[in-house]
Structure 1
Amino acid sequence: MLETGDSISFAQGDTSLAPAITNSPDSVKVNNIFIIGNVKTKKSVILRELDFTTDYYYDWNTLLEILTADQKKIYNLRLFTSVEITPLITGNNEVEILLTVKERWYILPQIIFELADRNFSEWWTNQNHSFSRVNYGLRLSHSNVGGRNEKLKFAGQLGFTKALDLQYSKPYIDKKQKHGLGVQLSYKENKTVAIKSLYNKQVFYTDENEDIIKKSFVAALRYTYRRSYYNYHFLSLGYSSTWVADEILTENPEYFQHGGNNLRYAFATYTFRHDRRDNVSYATDGELLQFSLTKYGIIFTDELDEVEVNITANKYIKISDKFHFNTGLTANWFLSESQPYPLVRGIGYSPNFIRGYELNVVEGQQLYVHKNSFRWKFVDWEIDISNMMKLEQFSTIPIRLYLSANFDHGYVKDRNNIPENSRLANKYLMGYGTGIDLIGFYDMVFRFEYSMNNSKEGNLFFNFSAPF
């Protein structure tokens, strides 16, 4: 018989299936589902993720597989620090399901202190770690408004980029919990602007009087359709308006390509995402497939008429509890020969990079990046600080350390063949090295890597997110 302690648990990204049960039944009927620990979260939000129902017979091993998958889905709501599912055999081939969660702290005021540059290495090396290139301010977020998994975020920012940002999303607006809506309003001002790239480095311009030389405003509405557990459809409609000072057009007459100071356009983006990752912050098992198509210039097509296609395909292979291998391919295409500079993409701009080339940008109209990491988890601790911290949401500090061996390669096609950027554009690029990944509280990620590239340049790099 399965006792209370035999459970499927999930905390801070790790999962462990209960030991095999002797004399386990061939099939069982689920009688009831009991949820405990959801003080603020509505029961319906959790039940939405369950792929089983009551009053139905399941093969025992099939039920265990379903519970393992459901527990990962619930954790990936990012509402709980731990999720535990316990099937309790009550006799006569019947079970009760006990689902225990530990809620996160949902209202988080955060001090903004962020680098304005593409990554830490760009700021430290190319920009001489200048604190004038730091953004600071306050961000307020509520990640579970009304206990319905609704997200509300507001940010006020000063520093290198002055910005106001408001976001709200409601994942479900119908009783069947398949349709959702979101809205975003964003305004930014800059006194220093990247105007082009030369020799595969960004070139910035600052007005000698330190006046504001760029203003941008974006408003967008997003519709979400989640037909099945792992497949999502998104449709975004928005409007963007960007103004720049005359000096920028003097430095780069093709900044907007049409010769004016304003770039205005409506846009529409369709995105399909298939997501079966075990942990969206730092995956070790599962897969992610995403396709997006964006049309820039639904109206104001005289200022911009462009189409962008993006494909991401990542596979996360769990070899054992300590070893896993991740591989991911990204491809991005613009259909036109050239784009206004604010739309320019390439290797070096998040999330597309090749390790070893963090100090460079390789701009063009087509890019292909293939990333690979083999990782070994050599530390897995959970430090109990409940004697010092009485709040349950902060009573334990998880620490996981991975040693990684990495290999990335890719290519950027620049149809314009800019001579100053020819060293890396239209060339096969490769980078490899090793690193240590630290995953801490609330799945925060810190990566320390040493990488070499096929230009025989090596350096130590520091990043704040998973590579893919």
Structure 2
Amino acid sequence: MLGLNQIYVKRIPLDSILPALRIFLFGLFYLLQFTANGQDTSYAPITPVSPERVKVNNIYIIGNQKTQKNIILRELDFTTDYYYDLETFLGILKADEQKIYNLRLFNQVEITPLFTGPEEVEILISVKERLYILPAVIFQLADRNFAEWWTNQNRDWSRVNYGLRLNHSNVGGRNEKFRFSGQLGFTKSFDILYSKPYIDRKQKHGLSFQLTYSDQKTIPIKSEFNRQVFFTNEREDVLRKNFVSAIRYTFRRTFYNFHFATLGFQRTWINPEVLQVNPNYFQHEENNLRYLYFQYSFRHDKRDNVAYATSGELLQLTATKYGLFSNEDLNEVELSLTANRYIPINDRFHFAAGLTGSWFLSQRQPYTLVRGIGYNPNFIRGYELNVIEGQHLYVQKNSLRMKLVDVTFDISSFLQADQFNELPLKIYLSGNFDHGRVTDRNNIPENAKLTNKFLFGYGPGIDIVSSYDTVLRFEYSINNQGAGNFFFNLRAPF
């Protein structure tokens, strides 16, 4: 991490051997000087007296064998040939480390300032790249969560999706993303996504494209008694086909603020038998639903780790208009909010609080747009087995977490690849309390037990965080109905 005396020796490309040699010689000079004085160089400052201000002469980057330098330099909040207050400058370097790591391109990021004069420093940025091309086998449950599959669906192995997925997270070393997946099983689908974060020299504007198709023989058609009701006909015909295409424009003027504008088209076809079981599935008599949609979203993201944050904040505001013209099958507006805060208490403890909300302006929506508690990301611990559907909802989550383990294992004797030769492991013990409410304007009698009521759940949990943004959660939760259960999840709660 940050330290005025740390010197990192890495494999340096040929075109940067002279600058790296300069840094090495300066570091060696100061190392010999303080060793001769009998001082512990691992904690002693580089200069006898810390300067009040510093100026950056040069910035060197090592370890980026594939990633282009401008992708890393885009995250830096300082420049060369400008004087900074020393304390402020060290804070900037720490924040820049977090921003570079949150690109999800590197397993490790270290920024080291090395003094070359009384008020002058050279900056060395050392990164350890991830493996960017990840072919993977798809084997996942089709249900909302593990508890839904285990309990409500009686561990039915036919409700499993399987296939192949190819992810390239750094096309051309420019942080471009490409994803292709082909899936069989409970839901047959294919998905293609390509995103380019920057299309201009100033690195502020970006574009992405996505194309998705899926079909299912078993689909949820409504909810009763706060559980999903699934339908399959006797011939096991395809009951729903869904096609979505979208283009998204991104604008990032500052480091932590993002703007997204998405224009998309969606077409959903259902088997006419679905309308016999639920005539209000589409809110009209036809078995096709077609519409354009436009979505604007603002995101302020200042988390230390986007996969499992322990400090920082996240705010996201989204407005979506479904149906842009009067001749379309849908005319609806949805507003949503996410606001999370992560507060470090000391080295071992931190507190996390998150709020999500969603509001539809109309009283009734097609079932393909139904929202509620029980659908991602709106979960209340203890209610994972339920869906509570309506037009308005809020969920507020709280976790007090204590870090039990923070170690890194050297596994280079088993895996020689640089991207996998270390295995970080963090384990947190959490105490959780969530609460929320769903407002259903239609007051459906069979769901009245949990709609339009204050709900809460609480309990302990264990969170395991490892490499490549892996998060495992084991929790036991009790809700205010008095029901308790064990739950397993594969991502951070918020």
Structure 2-normalised TM-score? Answer: 0.91
In structure 2, give the amino acid aligned to 1:266. L
In structure 2, give the amino acid aligned to 1:4. Q
In structure 2, give the amino acid aligned to 1:71. E
Tell me how far 1:23 sits from its aligned partner: 2.1
Task: Show the 5 A alignment for 1:387-426.
Answer: 387-426=413-452
**Alignment partners' CA distance in 2, 1:120 and 1:300:** 41
**Alignment partners' CA distance in 2, 1:438 and 1:382:** 13
The yes-or-no answer on 1:159 pairing with 2:185 is yes
Alignment partner, residue 221 of structure 2: 195
In structure 1, give the amino acid aligned to 2:144. R
Task: Show the 5 A alignment for 1:266-415.
Answer: 266-299=292-325, 301-415=327-441
Alignment partner, residue 130 of structure 2: 104
**Alignment partners' CA distance in 2, 1:19 and 1:162:** 58
Q: 1:20 to 1:321 in 2, by over 3 A?
A: farther
Q: Deviations over 1:391-413 (max 9, x none)?
A: 00000111110000000000000
Tell me how far 1:91 sits from its aligned partner: 1.4
Alignment partner, residue 4 of structure 2: 2
Q: Deviations over 1:87-137 (max 9, x none)?
A: 001113100000000000000001000110000000000000111000000
Unmatched segments (≥5 aa) in structure 2: 10-41
Structure 1-normalised TM-score? Answer: 0.96
**Alignment partners' CA distance in 2, 1:188 and 1:318:** 42
The yes-or-no answer on 1:220 pairing with 2:246 is yes
The yes-or-no answer on 1:73 pairing with 2:99 is yes
**Alignment partners' CA distance in 1, 2:469 and 2:167:** 17
The yes-or-no answer on 1:62 pairing with 2:64 is no
Are the counterparts in 1 of residues 260 and 297 from structure 2 also a CA contact under 8 Å? yes
Task: Report SS of the residue matched to 2:446.
Answer: helix
Are the counterparts in 2 of residues 449 and 462 from structure 1 also a CA contact under 8 Å? yes
**Alignment partners' CA distance in 2, 1:301 and 1:370:** 38
Task: Report SS of the residue matched to 2:110.
Answer: strand
**Alignment partners' CA distance in 2, 1:367 and 1:190:** 28
Task: Show the 5 A alignment for 1:4-153.
Answer: 4-5=6-7, 21=45, 23-153=49-179
Are the counterparts in 2 of residues 265 and 300 from structure 1 also a CA contact under 8 Å? no
| Cα RMSD (Å) | 1.4
Q: 1:294 to 1:86 in 2, by over 3 A?
A: same
| Aligned counterpart in structure 2 of residue 207 of structure 1, from 228, 233, 238 | 233
Tell me how far 1:20 sits from its aligned partner: 8.5
Higher strand proportion (structure 1 or 2): 1
Alignment partner, residue 10 of structure 1: none
The yes-or-no answer on 1:242 pairing with 2:244 is no
The yes-or-no answer on 1:432 pairing with 2:458 is yes
**Alignment partners' CA distance in 2, 1:443 and 1:219:** 28
Task: Report SS of the residue matched to 2:452.
Answer: coil
Q: Deviations over 1:362-404 (max 9, x none)?
A: 0000001100000001011111110111100000111110000
**Alignment partners' CA distance in 2, 1:205 and 1:132:** 14
The yes-or-no answer on 1:466 pairing with 2:492 is yes
Are the counterparts in 2 of residues 290 and 312 from structure 1 also a CA contact under 8 Å? yes
Task: Report SS of the residue matched to 1:442.
Answer: coil
The yes-or-no answer on 1:229 pairing with 2:255 is yes
Task: Report SS of the residue matched to 1:393.
Answer: helix
Q: 1:50 to 1:228 in 2, by over 3 A?
A: same
Q: Deviations over 1:122-170 (max 9, x none)?
A: 0000000111000000000100000000000000000000001000000
| Aligned counterpart in structure 2 of residue 451 of structure 1, from 453, 474, 477 | 477
Q: Deviations over 1:51-110 (max 9, x none)?
A: 000000001001000000000000000000000000001113100000000000000001
Q: State the number of aligned residues.
A: 458
Are the counterparts in 1 of residues 5 and 44 from structure 2 also a CA contact under 8 Å? no
Unmatched segments (≥5 aa) in structure 1: 8-17
